[in-house]
Amino acid sequence: MRVVLPGHLCVLADVDGELTLPAIAPVTIGSVLDAVEEAYPVLRGAIRDHDAGARRPYVRYFACEQDFSLDPPGTRLPEPVADGREPFLIVGAIAGG
């Protein structure tokens, strides 16, 4: 399974941008985030809230050109993400005006 992080989380986790993690069946939003936080404990609380597990503001999730940001953690991800052909993208959203 492949996961791409935004720049500020790459710096925090001291990685180059794309993580390769073992797939955990079923591959859901929650299982991917669990795997990321297990492999990189420094990211706990940076992507989702420590207690409630809710997505942090200004963090978005994409897979196969679809926005999964508002989907529940149990949402299964597309097969190309599950088998590593496509990455799961964690994106730092930009706000302002």
What domains are there in the chain, each with its CATH number?
A: 2-92 (3.10.20.30)
What is the average pLDDT across 6-32? 92
Dump pLDDT digits (tens) for 75-87.
999 999 999 999 9
Distance in angstroms (rounded) separating the CA atoms of residues 28 and 39: 17
Chain centroid to CA 63: how far? 10
Is the preceding peptide bond at 6 cis, omega within 30 degrees of 0?
no
Distance in angstroms (rounded) separating the CA atoms of residues 58 and 8: 12
Distance in angstroms (rounded) separating the CA atoms of residues 89 and 4: 5
pTM assigned to the model: 0.91
What is the average pLDDT across 35-64? 93
Q: Is the pLDDT of residue 45 over 90?
A: yes
Distance in angstroms (rounded) separating the CA atoms of residues 85 and 2: 8
Distance in angstroms (rounded) separating the CA atoms of residues 94 and 29: 21
pLDDT number for residue 42: 96
Grade residue 18 by pLDDT with cuts at 50, 70 and 90: very high
Please tell me whether residue 40 adopts helix, strand or coil conformation.
Answer: coil
